Amino acid sequence: MFLDDFGFPLEVTAETLNKYSYDLHNTKLLTSADTEFYLPPKWHGTIYSTEELLYSYRKRYNPDPTLLTFHALQPYEPEFICCQNAVVELTVLPAGQSLYSDKEIVVFLVKQPAEDRNTLITKELGTQLDFFPHNHHYHARILDEGIDVVYVDDKIYKTGPPTSYQHQRLYNLLRNIQPGAVLGLSGNPLPDILRTVCRKTAHGVKMHK
């Protein structure tokens, strides 16, 4: 998915591909090298992920190097990046292997200082749900700050039975993290049961309009 001008996640699909102006989205997050992603026409910008995922993606799909820049992040090591109207802190977190192949996947944590908000972005849930290693200094920081919003790919609720393995894993992830809120990347409503495992906050969570 992309980050928009303020650092909020923005999913681009085959159906919405032509709705976006390429010059508005200069940050792309690569969560898996297993599938080719959709790019708005003539889009150019920087794709962020781990060195291994970026290498695998370029080897498999041979993207146009004149349009794209690739930036490798070290796991658990935050970096400041510039969106159009905001500076955010971006961290890549290993998430184990995909449930559909033997490929490694990652999730991203985006800290938006202007919003005082930590956002966890998951495109796919893999074999690892504990993204924050207990023996790493990053774990203490996340426990102290907490996760305000988790974004999930809500298409898993359009296919498969209502008690599928993916649904249960998502529920377990939210129960472990206890974010302030959970939202779908497409903007579609999520099952009410997911909100029951979000923590109750006195002042609520500011939503992106």
Q: Which of 77, 72, 89, 50 has its CA nearest to residue 137? A: 77
Strand partners, 98: 126
Binned at pLDDT 50, 70 and 90, residue 52 comes out as very high
pLDDT score of 144: 85
pLDDT in tens, 55-74: 999 998 888 888 789 999 99
Domain ranges for the chain, please list them: 2-195
pLDDT score of 163: 59
Within 8 A by CB and 6+ apart from 205, the residues are 117, 148, 149, 180, 181
pLDDT in tens, 81-132: 998 889 999 999 999 998 888 889 999 999 999 889 999 999 988 899 888 8
Which CATH number is 2-195's, of 3.30.420, 3.40.50, 3.60.15, 3.30.1370? 3.60.15
The Cα–Cα gap between 29 and 46 comes to 9
